[in-house]
Amino acid sequence: MESMKFNRRQFVKGTAAAAAILPSFNILGDEKNTIGPKDDQVNVAVIGYGAEGEILTDAAMKIPGVRFKAVCDIWEYRRKMARGRLRSLGHEINVYEDYREMLDKEDKNIDCVIIATPDWMHAEHSVYCMEKGKHVYCEKEMSNRLEKAKEMVLGQRRTGKIFQIGHQRRSNPRYMHAINRVIREANMLGRVTHAYGQWNRSVAPFLTVRDRLNIPTETLQKYGYENMVQFLNWRWFDKYGGGPMVDLGSHQIDLFFWVWDCAPISVTAVGGNDYYNRQMNDNVMAIYEFKTKQGVINRAYYQVLTTSSRGGFYEQFMGENGSLTISEIAARGNAVQREVRDGVPNWDVFAKQGLVLPVKKPVAAAVTSNAAIDVRVTAEADGWPLPVDLLKPAHMPHLENFFLAVRRNKPELLTCPANLAYESAVAVLAANRSVAEGKTIHFKPEDFHV
């Protein structure tokens, strides 16, 4: 499979060992994550050809049988970009300003719609498309309003269409390997008591464009945007987005649900708009308490900063026997670190099974400590690297998963259906509420179900 690259020696050894020892472990990846027959053409339209619309379109075009037929964007500049780029890559498309017109005129030509508009339009766009009989891939966050996210879940239920939400880590073979195989199946980390996630970004001014690219004010207002500043920087305005916490946290907080297979019972967050004087918080720090199906409490800390890029973005899962550090950028995290203490099983057996590559540095011969300062070292700081690489654009496996479900007409193949994405939307949106209300938000199990 093209998406994975293994160290050759490990691959040969690991495959044989894994087949023998862990029958459910499939080193070639999950069947869910492969694509369907090449000659089965799927015709696609896009709503919202901005930065992410372009990334998704580029990635989807690499999937055999995917043909783009139409693009809708309210910005003429982006419609021109879309037409030019897609034509240069062999896809002749019609472009539209209004999505309803596109759906009417292209009804017979399209099977699926990819939606990458600002969060506040996701519900309207996706429910309309599903009602028109189209399968939908819609970007995260489902919505910046919970009641709208709920409408999306209900819209899918009513129409029965295939509806994927764009938390692309859910289909990333590195994350699937680390979470499904290393943590959940093999239990390499023991009990994972804590998790950490961060997304830190440098100071950045509001986006601007040259005057000649401005959308006329009457057009902007027809589509609900007050002016170009709000249109371009929608993430920072409550009407259109959820600020950095929702924009970035949505990807990473979703992973806490995946690893622990349960929902949180509370979130306590602090934050503020302390640097930019914008509408949404420019920094948030949130603590989630999760209660597992075994009744155990685990805690996760999440932070988003927009005034320092220190550490970038990554996630950590910390267990009694070891920790996973992982990031969508593998160079920032792609290994498990073993706890150096008595009683932790030797991990050579896991390396032999192909779950990890051998540790990069030898385990410390001795562990030293003194009473005043904790100088104990886990000499495996560089850890045991994961044996899986993603050699495709980050969003491609998630789109492949979507098109596979479409081709087989099996919603159950999706790695991120709407009801699953809804759960993390509840938790992510509540962090902003906790900041605003200055108190802990307590969840009931039914809060996560529509």
Ligand X SMILES: NC(=O)c1ccc[n+]([C@@H]2O[C@H](COP(=O)([O-])OP(=O)(O)OC[C@H]3O[C@@H](n4cnc5c(N)ncnc54)[C@H](O)[C@@H]3O)[C@@H](O)[C@H]2O)c1
Q: Which of 35, 46, 47, 255 binds ligand X (CB under 6 A)?
A: 47
- Alpha-carbon gap, residue 255 to 195, rounded angstroms: 9
* Candidates 20-28, 135-143, 264-272, 407-415; binding stretch for ligand X (CB under 6 A): 135-143
Residue 323's DSSP bridge partners are 318, 337
How near is the Cβ of 201 to ligand X at its closest, in Å? Answer: 13
* Candidates 10-18, 38-46, 133-141, 318-326; binding stretch for ligand X (CB under 6 A): 133-141
Number of residues located near ligand X, criterion CB under 6 A: 25
Nearest to 69 by CA among 115, 131, 127, 112: 112
- Alpha-carbon gap, residue 397 to 62, rounded angstroms: 11
Q: Which of 25, 49, 288, 314 binds ligand X (CB under 6 A)?
A: 49
Q: Which of 4, 72, 129, 427 binds ligand X (CB under 6 A)?
A: 72
How near is the Cβ of 223 to ligand X at its closest, in Å? Answer: 5
Asked if residues 2 and 392 have their Cβ atoms less than 8 Å apart, the reply is yes
Q: Does 52 bind ligand X (CB under 6 A)?
A: yes
Token pair listed for 169? 């880590």
Token pair listed for 202? 């440098």
Token pair listed for 203? 């100071």
DSSP character for 2? Answer: T
Q: Does 327 bind ligand X (CB under 6 A)?
A: no
Q: Which of 111, 119, 282, 315 binds ligand X (CB under 6 A)?
A: 119
- Which amino acid is present at 423? E
DSSP assignment string, 155-218: HHHHH---EEE--GGGG-HHHHIIIIIIIIIS-TT-SEEEEEEEEE----PPP---GGGPPPHH
- Which amino acid is present at 216? P
Nearest to 233 by CA among 279, 286, 300: 279
Token pair listed for 78? 């982006």
Q: Which of 29, 50, 64, 358 binds ligand X (CB under 6 A)?
A: 50
Asked if residues 328 and 169 have their Cβ atoms less than 8 Å apart, the reply is yes
Task: Name the residue nearer to ligand X (CB basis): 57 or 323.
Answer: 57
Q: Which of 14, 36, 53, 387 binds ligand X (CB under 6 A)?
A: 53
Q: Which of 247, 282, 380, 423 binds ligand X (CB under 6 A)?
A: 247
Q: Which of 73, 254, 380, 400 binds ligand X (CB under 6 A)?
A: 73
How near is the Cβ of 73 to ligand X at its closest, in Å? Answer: 4
DSSP character for 212? Answer: G
Q: Which of 46, 74, 153, 421 binds ligand X (CB under 6 A)?
A: 74
Task: At 207, give phi and psi (nearest 5°).
Answer: -70, 145
Q: Does 385 bind ligand X (CB under 6 A)?
A: no
Q: Does 68 bind ligand X (CB under 6 A)?
A: no
- Contact residues for ligand X, defined by CB under 6 A: 47-53, 72-75, 78, 99, 116-119, 121, 139-141, 166, 168, 223, 247
